[in-house]
Structure 1
Amino acid sequence: MKALALAALLLAGCVGGARFVGEAAAQPRAAAAPKPDGEMRWALYVTLAPAWFDPGEITGGFLTPFWVLYALHDALVKPMPGNLMAPSLAESWTVSADQRVYEFKLREGLKFHNGDAFTAEDVKFSFQRSKVGKVLKDRVREVEVVGPWRVRFHLHEPFPDFMAYYGTLATGAGWIVPRKYVEKVGDDGFKKQPVGLGPYKFVSHTPGIELVMEAFEGYWRKVPAVKRLVFKSVPEPTTRAAMLKNGEVDVAYMLDTPTAQQLKRDPAFRLGFSGAIGVHYLDFFDQWDPKSPWHDRRVRLAANQAIDRRALSEAETLGASRPTGSMAPRTFEFTLPLEPYAYDPGKARKLLAEAGYPNGFDGGDFYPYPPYWSAGETIIGYFGAVGIRMKLRTMERAAFQAAWSGKTLHGVCMCTMANFGNARRCSSSRRGRRIGGSGKRCSTRSSKLSTSERGSVPSTSSSGRAASVPAWPSRR
């Protein structure tokens, strides 16, 4: 097996403003590049949704769909190793003096997987069909096709974060689909048989089972070394670990801590960390209800001080997650460096007593964001130690997402976000949902609860096999 790194999936950091010119040249190809060879199999912890095959459906908030997008598709500008805003399908771009016009010079001579030529019409079409919404689209007055390989975005007014939304993983608006093909097969047909400009082309998708892709030898940047990729949906961490040990897969994501520790001791495997930007935080669903105990700021502060974030990080991610007091990763531009609340159960009990709950109270349901069940159990234990009694409620991710966005949940959630861009982008995406009592949120697989930045848990590999907790694997 040959190792493959979809490198951009591992990036964590800030994306700068849009006031600059980006430029990059195509990488020279060897005269006789070797043909793609072999197969690499992945065990993922989520079910791959067909919506993730279509960049137009990606509105931001979660990085998971980009596992697929980086393989099947390409963007005008996107994060790449060493450059969080790397020119890709766009060779360069400029910004007008009044900050209202962004002009992109496109790479010429590229073709989609089905042979359609890539032009500025595809860029305009992809942006217009994107469901990103008013956060970005309403700021654009017009998308002008200047020529086959030149396109201009005219804004209503200056928007310094335009590239933070269009040129990063904050949204899928800058990822390009073939206009003629989509118009021919329709949106549903495109999800069933997606066509892109990425290093891999779609072969098949068995819902709930696997996605199969093969190398696209016409890829402009560099032809992949591995011919065939198979993404398998394996919800159970023990099953993912077993498949890795048995050689059924080469990479396993998000293993539980005991399994990760076991693999770490095995020289045949390599455990790694993805360096993800996920932030876990407490969302107090009922804090706006005057009749709820969570309405009292002292109660929310007590919940924050009841949690030992560092111990939680050790237990859940082998210490890879860093406790923080900010909703945005510290490497993001404009992030205010806030310290996490100190672990102080004595102070938590005192705050509860001051709020009128000297004997504690029933806090209702506690929802850990799927699939972080064990972290949820640990947090409930911390709460119980100071008198906050809660019931653990687990849900499948799709059902949880629907209930969460539909505002039908009550109690407390250890929720998560992995928005790309900068601190402003992170804060605007969760505006109105305060944490803790001071408005701080929690982060990482800890919680701030306000909490900790997920350094991501480890992954491993054995002579070609890798595992992750949730981490990124690499091969020895």
Structure 2
Amino acid sequence: MAQDPVQRIPLVTRRRLLQGVTSGAAGLLAWHQSWPHLPHALAQKSAPSGQMTWAIHVNIAPTWFDPAETPGIITPYMFLYAMHDALVKPMPDKAMSPCLATQWSESADGLSYDFELRQGVKFHNGDPFTAEDVKFSFERYKGSGAQELKKKVKALEIIKPHQVRFQLHEPWPDFLTFYASPATGAGWIVPKNYTEKIGNEKFKEQPVGLGPYRFANYQPGVELVLEANTEYWRKTPQVQRLIMKSVPEATTRLAMLKKQEADVTYGLYGALGEEVRRDPTLKLEPVVLPGTQWVVFAEHYHNPKSPWADKRVRQAANHAINRQSINDAETLGYSVLSGSIIPRKFDYALSLEPYAYDPNKARQLLKEAGYANGFDAGECGVDNVYTGVIEAMVNDLTAVGIRAKVRPMERAAHQAGLREKTFKHLAFQGSGAFGNAATRLDAFATTKGAQSWIKDAEIDAWYEQQAVERDRQKRQTLLHKIQQKLYDEALVIPLWELGFLCASGPRAAVSGLSLIPLFAYSG
């Protein structure tokens, strides 16, 4: 290897021993699989056995099996954590834990990042993991954040078979946040030779990865079956078969849990959560996510002359909604009300309370805007998991004269509508993806954002300025200005940081929920 003339600043200098834990359901994904650096002898457990079933709240979309197409939501990572692996990702011990990369460093001038890759690792099909796979996976990535990554990265160089270097056009403080966290799927690795041979579409049908579980079978609309990867580079999973069943109907998910047809279920709401609380054989496990949810003004995006073009109308909608009442009814009060699309725990977040519930003020604002008799606001497209939330919101809007209807959709179709900008009136939106304020704003508040319904030149300019600003305080000022403008102009209707109601049954001694901080699913 040639001498590197640039002084490098170590970000992770060596691996450190992590403590082991008693494993239950969580051990099935070996996510304290991780106790990643346990001595080899300790990692050798008995062969995996048994089966665990998850009742999942959405129809499983095969596009989620491919890291290259990861949207700016957390759902696909349920499958990526199981079947795939990343250079760096959140684990129980830390937010940026070394995985396929054993260490990494940044040059003193901020223009390059080196990653040392783990050796001796094999994909599920036996292909060895090398720097070629890292380069290939990055170049084919087209999910959330891809445009920003490709714009900022000048080149990805293979220094040697197990070392890569990212060269940037200019210093970019958020490179690691975009690449080395689930803010995007760009750092999750697929096998180059296999993927080139079968093609991108076939890869979704027969995915091959580096994760603790290998693909076994997929029945569209029914279930995904995974088998333990006994060659996984961390410790071997304890459970032989993991079944992820698509069960969109919440009452059915709960019934499966009671009958022990499922061990863990996600996305319960309202009365069903209370029912779990009353059952001594079940355990309610709410997870408060970095998952903000809000409603976008799609009609304003398409038509600058729509009623939503008037700030007073947008403010009226924000004042019309009784968020606390909806929170109590739908998420048992576990959600945290918010006036922002940025979670409060994110770096550079500006903490904003929601607009006060004030239907009289909402009516007054509508009158001032020339809509004393209200107006027809059309349909609000919503992921059917959150239909109850939007039904309650629409009732509040209608009560002040903003007459809207609910359009429930399956998650994949709803996500396609957000991505392709096909909604015409209103649309429910949300994200539980990792990152910081900048990654969330990039995807949802800039004109170029993958799922943004906002076009504002001033916001775009501030965003570009902060993206290259290395002074933390100056950068925070710019990011706070964007968040404040979103609030003052009421460019969306923020609801809350979601309290995601999950539950486990008697066979799941440890569900794995909340094991990885801020992650929605079992870890």
Deviation at 1:150, TM superposition (A): 1.2
Matched, 1:77 2:88: yes
- Distance change >3 Å, CA 272–CA 302, structure 1 → 2: same
Over the matched positions of the two proteins, sequence identity in percent amounts to 47
User: Does the Cα contact within 8 Å between 2:30 and 2:235 map onto a contact in 1?
Assistant: no
Q: What's the TM-score, normalizing by structure 1? A: 0.88
Matched, 1:50 2:69: no
- Name which of structure 1's ranges 364-373 and 212-221 shifts more when overlaid on structure 2: 364-373
Alpha-carbon separation, structure 1, partners of 2:363 and 2:279: 43
Alpha-carbon separation, structure 2, partners of 1:442 and 1:44: 37
User: Does the Cα contact within 8 Å between 2:295 and 2:429 map onto a contact in 1?
Assistant: yes
Secondary structure of 1:80's counterpart equals coil
Deviation at 1:257, TM superposition (A): 1.5
Deviation at 1:355, TM superposition (A): 1.7
Aligned runs of 1:146-157 on 2, under 5 Å? 146-157=159-170
Q: Higher helix proportion, which one?
A: 2
Secondary structure of 2:95's counterpart equals strand
Counterpart of 1:352 in structure 2 is 366
- Of the three residues 285, 288, 298, the one matched with 2:312 is 298
Counterpart of 2:349 in structure 1 is 335
Aligned runs of 1:430-469 on 2, under 5 Å? 430=444, 431-432=446-447, 433-434=453-454, 439-440=486-487, 449-464=493-508
Aligned runs of 1:64-103 on 2, under 5 Å? 64-103=75-114
Deviation at 1:34, TM superposition (A): 2.1
Counterpart of 1:20 in structure 2 is none
Secondary structure of 2:334's counterpart equals coil
User: Does the Cα contact within 8 Å between 1:48 and 1:208 map onto a contact in 2?
Assistant: yes
Alpha-carbon separation, structure 2, partners of 1:442 and 1:464: 47
- Name which of structure 1's ranges 433-442 and 45-54 shifts more when overlaid on structure 2: 433-442
Deviation at 1:327, TM superposition (A): 1.2
Deviation at 1:290, TM superposition (A): 5.0
Alpha-carbon separation, structure 2, partners of 1:123 and 1:438: 38
Alpha-carbon separation, structure 1, partners of 2:295 and 2:347: 23
- Distance change >3 Å, CA 243–CA 441, structure 1 → 2: farther
Counterpart of 1:311 in structure 2 is 325
Deviations 1:147-175 (A, max 9, x none): 12111111122111111111001111111
- Of the three residues 212, 227, 230, the one matched with 2:240 is 227
- Distance change >3 Å, CA 6–CA 354, structure 1 → 2: farther
Alpha-carbon separation, structure 1, partners of 2:379 and 2:198: 45
Secondary structure of 1:136's counterpart equals helix
- Name which of structure 1's ranges 284-293 and 254-263 shifts more when overlaid on structure 2: 284-293
User: Does the Cα contact within 8 Å between 2:48 and 2:240 map onto a contact in 1?
Assistant: yes
How many residue pairs get aligned? The number is 455
Counterpart of 1:33 in structure 2 is 45
Counterpart of 1:185 in structure 2 is 198
Instruction: Give ranges in structure 2 of 5+ residues lacking alignment.
Output: 1-22, 448-452, 456-482, 514-518
- Distance change >3 Å, CA 180–CA 328, structure 1 → 2: same
- Distance change >3 Å, CA 103–CA 441, structure 1 → 2: farther
Aligned AA (2:53):
R
Aligned AA (1:126):
S
Alpha-carbon separation, structure 2, partners of 1:286 and 1:215: 47
User: Does the Cα contact within 8 Å between 1:61 and 1:417 map onto a contact in 2?
Assistant: yes
Secondary structure of 2:408's counterpart equals coil
Instruction: Give ranges in structure 1 of 5+ residues lacking alignment.
Output: 10-23
Alpha-carbon separation, structure 2, partners of 1:141 and 1:370: 41
Alpha-carbon separation, structure 1, partners of 2:345 and 2:29: 18
Secondary structure of 2:195's counterpart equals helix
Counterpart of 1:145 in structure 2 is 158
Alpha-carbon separation, structure 2, partners of 1:322 and 1:7: 29
Secondary structure of 1:110's counterpart equals coil
Alpha-carbon separation, structure 1, partners of 2:244 and 2:101: 29
Deviation at 1:250, TM superposition (A): 1.0
Matched, 1:263 2:280: no
- Distance change >3 Å, CA 57–CA 414, structure 1 → 2: closer
Deviations 1:122-167 (A, max 9, x none): 1112112222432102322221111121111111221111111110
Deviation at 1:473, TM superposition (A): 8.2
Alpha-carbon separation, structure 2, partners of 1:8 and 1:302: 49
Matched, 1:286 2:286: no
Matched, 1:372 2:372: no
Alpha-carbon separation, structure 2, partners of 1:277 and 1:229: 26
Counterpart of 2:266 in structure 1 is 253
Deviations 1:160-200 (A, max 9, x none): 11111110011111111122222232223322222211111
Counterpart of 1:382 in structure 2 is 396
Alpha-carbon separation, structure 2, partners of 1:396 and 1:113: 31
User: Does the Cα contact within 8 Å between 2:264 and 2:502 map onto a contact in 1?
Assistant: no
Counterpart of 2:172 in structure 1 is 159
Deviations 1:82-136 (A, max 9, x none): 3111111111000111111110111111111222221111111211222243210
Secondary structure of 1:277's counterpart equals strand
User: Does the Cα contact within 8 Å between 2:338 and 2:494 map onto a contact in 1?
Assistant: yes
Deviations 1:351-374 (A, max 9, x none): 122222233332222223332111
Aligned AA (1:113):
H
Secondary structure of 1:135's counterpart equals helix
Counterpart of 2:479 in structure 1 is none
- Distance change >3 Å, CA 221–CA 300, structure 1 → 2: same
